[in-house]
Structure 1
Amino acid sequence: MKSVFQSASRITILANFIFLAFAVIVIRLFYLQIIQGSEYKKLANREQIKQDTIPAHRGLIYAMDGKKPIKLVMNETIYTVFIDPKVDNPKAKTEAIKLLREVAGGNLKGNIEDAFKKRDSRYEVVATKLSHKQADVIASKKNPYIGLEPVSRRVYPEGQLASQVLGFVNYEGGKYGIESSFNKELTGKDGLLKTAKDVLGAPLVIGSENIERPPVNGKNIVLSIDRNIQAQTERVLQKHMQKKGMKNGSVLVMNPNNGKVLAMANYPTYDPSKFGEVKDGSVFNNNTVTMPYENGSVIKSFTMAMGINEGVAKGQDTYYNADFIKVEDRTIKNAVLGHTGQITFQTAMNYSLNTGMVTIANRLGSNGMIDNKSRNTIYDYLHNRFGLGKKTGIEVAESTGTVIPPDKVEGNNVRYSNMTFGQGMDTTMIQTATAFSSLINGGNLYRPSLINGEVTQEGAFEKNEAQIHRRNVISEDTSKQIKQILISARANANRGGADSKGYNIGGKTGTSQTLIDGKYVDNQTIGSYLGFGGGKQSEYVIMVAVWGKNQNLQGHSDASPIFTDISNWMLNYLEVKPTEG
């Protein structure tokens, strides 16, 4: 009996042991699969799932070549070479050093032997900017130390052309110009390739872990810039700047009938493919949109148009010119003296007489003197209608400028009198040229634009339309009158006949003092010219500004010749037909 009981006891103990072991296994499996399941899945995924980024191509930037787009910014694939110093293969190391010296050559960074000594690192860059041919030679050797990474960089087939318009791309993305303003659209979106593989690298059965998301390439942007106009504008600007030793200059060319910018040139300039070599960062700025300044007498065009539109002054109306005019306790004088007596406003425009513009401001007042009524009218025209002193909406970063409202203490009668001839307010060239276009196109203020459309991924050019910001800022009749006044003013200033014959060319000079630490200085002025040209219809507006530290530059002698050279060339390039007679 005792042995039977002992046998049963042993069976029970064994059963309990098996049960306990099974329970432990179940609990362990539960712990591994349920409690720690996600962690082990992550570990497995790290070993089995390979994830690769499929880089998107940055969008190209085009300019116009007449009526068709032409590539201005392209992409090029170059290669970065890195090594893994932890690899332990003396023979391969010797071969790697020899290979890199022979193939990479001048692309090597520093002492290559030092990179191999960094045994605590798995990634050391030893060469950059290798060509596709160099990379192929290195890859063909299959050296265990060496790895290659493709890198995309921007290529500029036109060199420095329109560099401040374009901007550049560094490791952070687009900087300045179009590259910055449209960085998101140009960048696109990288794709993803995610696959599960076994230890030998063979793909496993297709499942949820296998994902392929194709890249979305960046948008291809077409600028309104015409490469031929841009190139000629830059050549003319550089020629005049260097001939006269002027330090800084900018030129803006615009189509007044749709607000499209045809050229933006700045001097000095730079090569966007070598932006890292630039020592003075100010050269990156596109001064046509970022530099507000007192335009000086070019603003008289707007004052004259305002006087015509308000019915207080026409070109042949007269006023008495004493070569000075009093506004409260200030005396405002003309720069050009001698045209005293009863003269026309056309004469005031011909000789850029400040007294004529202040007279218009006085006539806008309630009692023939500048007052709250005239200040409100001037502000309405300059700021609200013409858009001076506020952003235009152009597609690149721009400055605002300042037109002080009449309800501010600083917006007093003296300031507003000065504003009629371009002092006491500052605007950007893009603001002034855009507003000027409305004077000569019949009274429509367009939103200025640098964008002409896009080239689709299939290669089709899709053009966008011009946008009118405000209609009838002045009447069509006022536009005709101010246009003729400006033609006469230019003809009077250019008695030597520098303009091509048979065309309608008009414009206005401007010479403005420079403010330094809140005070005007005598040894530094900005010379400007703002004008238009064409046949029966005005085909272009050109604005020029030249300036430099300790340089007294004039609108007539320094800025106007730049306008003339570009204008005469434009008439030929656009094949403008001369007017009859």
Structure 2
Amino acid sequence: MSQPSISSKRRLLTMFTIVSFLIFALIARLGWIQIVRGEKYKELANAQQTRDIPIPAKRGIIYDRNGKELAISISSSTVWVKPKEIENAKETAAKLANILQLPFDKLEKDISNSKYGLVRIARWIEDDVAAAIRKENLKGVLIAEDNKRFFPYGNFATYILGHTTDDNRGAYGIEREYEKYLSGLPGRWIKSTDSAGRQLDSSVEKYYPPENGLSVVLTTDEVIQHFAEKAVQNALEVNKAKRVTAIVMDVKTGDILAMAAKPDYDPNQPRLPLDEEMQLQMEAMSDEEKLDTWFSMWRNPIVNDTYEPGSTFKLITTAVVLEEGIATPDSHFFSPGTISVGGRTLKCWRYYNPHGDQTLTQAVQNSCNVVFVQLGEKLGKDTFYSYLDAFGFNSTTGIDLPGERKSIMYSLPQVGPVELATMSFGQSISITPIQLISAVSAIVNDGILMKPRIVKELVDNEGNVVHRFEEQMVRQVISEKTSQEMREIMQSVIVEGSGKAAYIPGYAVGGKTGTAQKVIDGKYADGYYVSSFIGVAPMDDPKLAVLIIVDEPNGLSHFGSITAAPVAKEILEESLRYLEVKPKYTEEEAQQLVKAEITIPEVRQMTVTEGTKTLKDHKLQYEIEAQQEMGPNTIIVDMFPKPGARVPENSSVMLYAREKGEVGKVLVPDLTGKTIGDANKLLNALGLRLKITGNGVATSQYPEANSEVPLGTIISVEFKPN
């Protein structure tokens, strides 16, 4: 037998070496995979073979202070599909489209998308729809438990509660501010599957239940909130205003008992305006315009917006003057109607009939700007600003609602004589409503500023208190003596001054009216006003503070004494009786209450002379609100209370008067090119009504522009997209 050659031996050795190296490399690679990287590949295998279906947690409930449910989560179902388990995508999509009333094309695309192991098809379906899907027994289609946020009262306390997103996350209000407590921890439904996504027969399902969120207990009282919502809605309609807001605060604790603003929205459908006209306008809007409209609709004007407070701010100036000893309630001042400051002439609202000599108390009653300019000069800007800081106007209040804004005011170096003068009577400074009511509450609360609070407690599913938010004193701003003097001055405004419309027999009410021109495009705009009133009761033991703001009233008056004070009276009277605060009648009030009742006579369309004589003959008092100086042809166009109402003898009737020529007919304006909102606002101001056809901007109208028509005439306008 011949021996292998040397070359053959070399080839065999080379082959042996290569094979040995490959075997060694495979052993090393296997060791790397099994030992070094074993845990990682185990995790990847588990992830590939496991289907993890999230089970959302149930959001906590939002309660009012008495345990009434204002926001709850209701059980619902969500439809999921596993594309890899579906054998016939078209057939499955057709059946689901028929049951869910969804587009077939989109469903088929989602079901055929094997990129994802799990796809959500529909959320928050009704029980009967879920039952119909289960009946079809569709392979790869799962129905999982889900929760949907629900607000049982609809558009009630909207700007307190806020709303949630489609993913059940808090978007505004308490829902957003307390998201981390309300949301809870989601659960899991875990199944083992093969590489194709099919469930393994031998697999064991694991269900980890979700951990529900904590519930929130508000300081808000649902009953008082109802009082506020009702009064605000009525004021919005009566005054034909752009917006009306109200806030009710517990003076001693800083608790927010009610917070309302109209118009608002339904948090169950946050993208759908309640106003049908606005719904029509939004149909023609771009996506960007819709976003701007939604954000504007969702903003809470009480904490997110600022405004010039006008004469209500004079309470702050008065308190500072008394605290600094610059004046006493009986100190005398003289107002000639105007005053020159820094080369500018500033007017009192009654410059044409000056108040003349008056005490500080009377100056507050009369809301005399000239006196407050004098007081501001005596204070000086440094002292004035130190108290603005102390009252909290240079910072946020810290209320537990999202997006609170700071005030807008001049920095101290920018303040000159004119700026100081205008700020002293509530102009050239822009603050939030929550700042003002907190500061005025401090004035009557023995000078103690409290941090406003809207949440009392966090509780678990069993009702156990997990965390309690205590009342928090911020600082002592003024002395008890000054506070007592301020309460007497504020009460005199109601008894003798401009706030008589807020008088409530048996309850000592104090307050201040305010009327301020709005700043539009950087300047004060004629015809655009913010009317307001802040009231406190009872002044012998202050419990409630109420701030009412009427934005752009277009009714018969724009004065806070007419538009806002009656709203505060309504809320205060109902709330005090609900809280069982017993009235304390003076002898005069007690006698007044037992007087005979008088039926108010009809005096509309009479001249002022005839109408007032008729009221006097019926033993009734009266107040007249006229838009200009009255003459022999001035006619009463409206009155409150209305004819036929029964009131005690010597009650006061508010009369609204205009010149006779204004009452009969008006000229129809040219509406061409105007939007629905602008046209409606213009016609309302003239006493005319709008009938809408189409959407967009006005292209034609009937009756035509410059036609003379009676008040109340309906103007038909056709709107077309621009």
Q: Where on the TM-score scale, by shorter chain, does this alignment land: which range?
A: 0.7 to 0.9
- Name which of structure 1's ranges 183-192 and 14-23 shifts more when overlaid on structure 2: 14-23
- Conservation of the 8 A alpha-carbon contact between 1:224 and 1:260: yes
Q: Distance in 1 between matches of 2:27 and 2:52?
A: 29
1:413 is matched with which residue: 414, 417, 426?
417
1:353 is matched with which residue: 368, 373, 377?
368
Structure 1 residues 363 and 136, CA gap change in structure 2 (3 angstroms)? same
Structure 1 residues 86 and 43, CA gap change in structure 2 (3 angstroms)? closer
- Provide Cα deviations, 1:20-76, integer angstroms capped at 9, x if missing partner: 978755542431331574464345323444545443322222222xxx222211112
Structure 1 residues 523 and 96, CA gap change in structure 2 (3 angstroms)? closer
Secondary structure, in 3 states, of the residue corresponding to 1:30? helix
Structure 1 residues 534 and 491, CA gap change in structure 2 (3 angstroms)? same
1:69 is matched with which residue: 67, 70, 75?
67
TM-score (norm 1): 0.85
Matching residue of 1:200:
200
Matching residue of 1:287:
301
1:108 is matched with which residue: 94, 97, 101?
101
1:78 is matched with which residue: 70, 76, 80?
76
- Conservation of the 8 A alpha-carbon contact between 1:289 and 1:430: yes
2:241 is matched with which residue: 224, 242, 246?
246
Correspondences of 1:10-49 after superposition (within 5 Å): 24-25=22-23, 27-35=25-33, 37-38=37-38, 40-49=41-50
1:283 Cα offset (Å): 1.8
- Conservation of the 8 A alpha-carbon contact between 1:115 and 1:124: no
Asked if residue 218 in structure 1 is aligned to residue 213 in structure 2, the reply is yes
Structure 1 residues 273 and 340, CA gap change in structure 2 (3 angstroms)? closer
Matching residue of 1:531:
535
Q: Distance in 1 between matches of 2:322 and 2:159?
A: 38
Matching residue of 1:479:
483
- Name which of structure 1's ranges 80-89 and 145-154 shifts more when overlaid on structure 2: 80-89
Q: Distance in 2 between matches of 1:114 and 1:402?
A: 50
TM-score (norm 2): 0.69
1:375 is matched with which residue: 368, 372, 381?
381
Q: Distance in 2 between matches of 1:525 and 1:62?
A: 36
- Name which of structure 1's ranges 77-86 and 54-63 shifts more when overlaid on structure 2: 77-86
1:336 Cα offset (Å): 2.3
- Conservation of the 8 A alpha-carbon contact between 1:167 and 1:180: yes
Q: Distance in 1 between matches of 2:140 and 2:106?
A: 14
- Conservation of the 8 A alpha-carbon contact between 1:535 and 1:578: no
1:144 Cα offset (Å): 1.5
Query: Mind listing any 5+ residue stretches in structure 1 that lack a counterpart?
Result: 7-12, 205-209, 365-373
Q: Which amino acid aligns with 1:69?
A: G
Secondary structure, in 3 states, of the residue corresponding to 1:439? helix
Q: Distance in 1 between matches of 2:108 and 2:320?
A: 75
Correspondences of 1:301-316 after superposition (within 5 Å): 301-316=315-330
2:174 is matched with which residue: 156, 159, 178?
178
Matching residue of 2:583:
578
- Conservation of the 8 A alpha-carbon contact between 1:535 and 1:576: no
1:403 is matched with which residue: 406, 409, 412?
409
- Conservation of the 8 A alpha-carbon contact between 1:97 and 1:113: no
Asked if residue 446 in structure 1 is aligned to residue 450 in structure 2, the reply is yes
- Conservation of the 8 A alpha-carbon contact between 1:336 and 1:351: no
Secondary structure, in 3 states, of the residue corresponding to 1:424? coil
- Name which of structure 1's ranges 133-142 and 279-288 shifts more when overlaid on structure 2: 133-142
1:568 Cα offset (Å): 1.0
Q: Which amino acid aligns with 1:445?
A: L
Asked if residue 139 in structure 1 is aligned to residue 131 in structure 2, the reply is no
Asked if residue 492 in structure 1 is aligned to residue 496 in structure 2, the reply is yes
Q: Distance in 2 between matches of 1:125 and 1:580?
A: 66
* Greater relative contact order, per chain length (Cα 8 Å cut-off, separation 6+): 1
Q: Which amino acid aligns with 1:108?
A: Q
Matching residue of 1:189:
185
Q: Distance in 2 between matches of 1:115 and 1:197?
A: 24
Structure 1 residues 303 and 497, CA gap change in structure 2 (3 angstroms)? closer
- Name which of structure 1's ranges 239-248 and 344-353 shifts more when overlaid on structure 2: 239-248
- Name which of structure 1's ranges 288-297 and 194-203 shifts more when overlaid on structure 2: 194-203
Structure 1 residues 54 and 18, CA gap change in structure 2 (3 angstroms)? farther
Q: Distance in 1 between matches of 2:86 and 2:215?
A: 47
Q: Distance in 1 between matches of 2:208 and 2:145?
A: 20
Asked if residue 121 in structure 1 is aligned to residue 113 in structure 2, the reply is yes
Q: Distance in 2 between matches of 1:277 and 1:251?
A: 23
- Name which of structure 1's ranges 152-161 and 428-437 shifts more when overlaid on structure 2: 152-161
Structure 1 residues 150 and 119, CA gap change in structure 2 (3 angstroms)? closer
Q: Distance in 1 between matches of 2:110 and 2:305?
A: 50
1:580 Cα offset (Å): 6.5
Correspondences of 1:516-555 after superposition (within 5 Å): 516-534=520-538, 536-548=540-552, 553-555=558-560
Aligned length: 549
Secondary structure, in 3 states, of the residue corresponding to 2:67? strand
- Conservation of the 8 A alpha-carbon contact between 1:535 and 1:577: no
1:464 Cα offset (Å): 2.6
- Provide Cα deviations, 1:156-176, integer angstroms capped at 9, x if missing partner: 011111112221111463212
Secondary structure, in 3 states, of the residue corresponding to 1:257? coil
Matching residue of 2:693:
none
Q: Which amino acid aligns with 2:526?
A: D
Q: Which amino acid aligns with 2:458?
A: E
1:152 is matched with which residue: 147, 152, 169?
147
Q: Distance in 1 between matches of 2:503 and 2:236?
A: 20
Matching residue of 2:257:
262
Q: Distance in 1 between matches of 2:547 and 2:500?
A: 21
- Conservation of the 8 A alpha-carbon contact between 1:78 and 1:153: yes
- Name which of structure 1's ranges 112-121 and 127-136 shifts more when overlaid on structure 2: 112-121
Matching residue of 1:466:
471
1:324 Cα offset (Å): 2.2
Structure 1 residues 440 and 100, CA gap change in structure 2 (3 angstroms)? same
Q: Distance in 2 between matches of 1:220 and 1:483?
A: 39
Q: Distance in 2 between matches of 1:176 and 1:88?
A: 40
Structure 1 residues 211 and 153, CA gap change in structure 2 (3 angstroms)? closer
Q: Distance in 2 between matches of 1:553 and 1:62?
A: 37
1:356 Cα offset (Å): 1.8
Asked if residue 503 in structure 1 is aligned to residue 484 in structure 2, the reply is no
- Name which of structure 1's ranges 240-249 and 33-42 shifts more when overlaid on structure 2: 33-42
1:114 Cα offset (Å): 6.5
Identity of aligned residues (%): 31
Secondary structure, in 3 states, of the residue corresponding to 1:427? coil
C-alpha RMSD of the superposition: 3.4
Q: Distance in 2 between matches of 1:262 and 1:43?
A: 55
Matching residue of 2:285:
none
Q: Which amino acid aligns with 2:177?
A: S
Structure 1 residues 499 and 326, CA gap change in structure 2 (3 angstroms)? same
Q: Distance in 1 between matches of 2:207 and 2:12?
A: 55
Q: Distance in 2 between matches of 1:99 and 1:328?
A: 76
- Conservation of the 8 A alpha-carbon contact between 2:502 and 2:568: no
Q: Distance in 2 between matches of 1:218 and 1:14?
A: 74
1:276 is matched with which residue: 271, 276, 285?
271
1:155 Cα offset (Å): 0.3
Matching residue of 2:666:
none
- Conservation of the 8 A alpha-carbon contact between 1:336 and 1:352: no
